[in-house]
Amino acid sequence: MDLVTPGLGLVVWATVVFLTLLFILGKFAWKPILNALNEREQKITDSLELADRTRREMENIKADNEKMLKEASIERDKILKEAKEMRDSIVATAKKSADEEGRRMIAQAKDSIEKEKSAAMAELKNLSATIGVEIAEKILRKKLESNTEQDALIADYINHLNLN
């Protein structure tokens, strides 16, 4: 049965055609295609690697940023705290000094008031003494205008004196 008997012509043609195809495709098609595929794969691998590296770098930068941010916020808190403390202390000092000043001024005022008062009292005393003396003088003058009265008085004095 010639179905399983290879025909010479077809054997020759198949050999020629296939080998030619192998040569042409191998040299001009498969080589560039396979090279392009390899190149592309290499490029993909490289890109992935690069992306990975970049991602890691980004993570590092982000971590650094976060650290810096944290540090900055700590710093800020510290500064704020310090400022507050300073303000408080200033206020406290100011208050204290104001208080003292007030107290001092009050004391001073009291002092001066006291002084004025004693001065006034002294003056008053003097004045009242003077007035008393003047009044007594006037009264005496009036009472001792007549001689009898002067004598009576003298006699009285003398009476009193004798007993001693």
Partner 1 sequence: MKSSVKSRKFINKFFKYFGVLVFFTTFSVAKAEHEPTHEAVSEHQAKAEGKFKPGEMIFDHIKDGHDWHLWDYNGHPVSISLPVIIYSSNKGVECFSSSHFEHGHASHNGYKLVDKKIVAEDGHKFYDLSITKNVASMLLGVFLLLIAVFYAAARYKKNSGKLYGVQSFLEPVILFIRDDVAKPSIGEKRYARFMPFLLTVFFFILINNLMGLIPIFPGGANVTGNIAVTMVLAVIVFIITTFSTNGGYWKHIFLPPVPIPMYIIIVPIEILGVFLKPLVLMIRLFANITAGHIIILGFFSLIFIFGEMSKPLGYGVTVLSVAFNLAMNCLELLVAFLQAYVFTLLAAMYFGQAKVEHHHGEADHL
* Site residues (vs partner 1, CB under 8 A): 1-15, 17-19, 21-22, 24-26, 28-34, 36-37, 39-40
Q: How far is the CB of 4 from partner 1 (least distance, A)?
A: 5
Q: Token match 């810096």: residue?
A: 68
Amino acid (one-letter) located at 113: I
Token pair for residue 109? 């005022």
Complex with partner 1: residue 10 or 86, whichever CB lies closer? 10
SS3 17: helix
Q: How far is the CB of 27 from partner 1 (least distance, A)?
A: 8
Complex with partner 1: residue 37 or 83, whichever CB lies closer? 37
**Could you give phi then psi for residue 3, rounded to 5 degrees?**
-65, -35
Complex with partner 1: residue 10 or 83, whichever CB lies closer? 10
Torsion of CA 61, 63, 64, 69, to 10 degrees: 120
Token pair for residue 90? 């200033």
Q: How far is the CB of 48 from partner 1 (least distance, A)?
A: 15
Complex with partner 1: residue 17 or 69, whichever CB lies closer? 17
Q: How far is the CB of 65 from partner 1 (least distance, A)?
A: 35
Q: How far is the CB of 80 from partner 1 (least distance, A)?
A: 56
Token pair for residue 125? 């005393």
How far apart CA 113 and CA 105 sit, in angstroms, is 12
How far apart CA 29 and CA 115 sit, in angstroms, is 124
Complex with partner 1: residue 18 or 157, whichever CB lies closer? 18
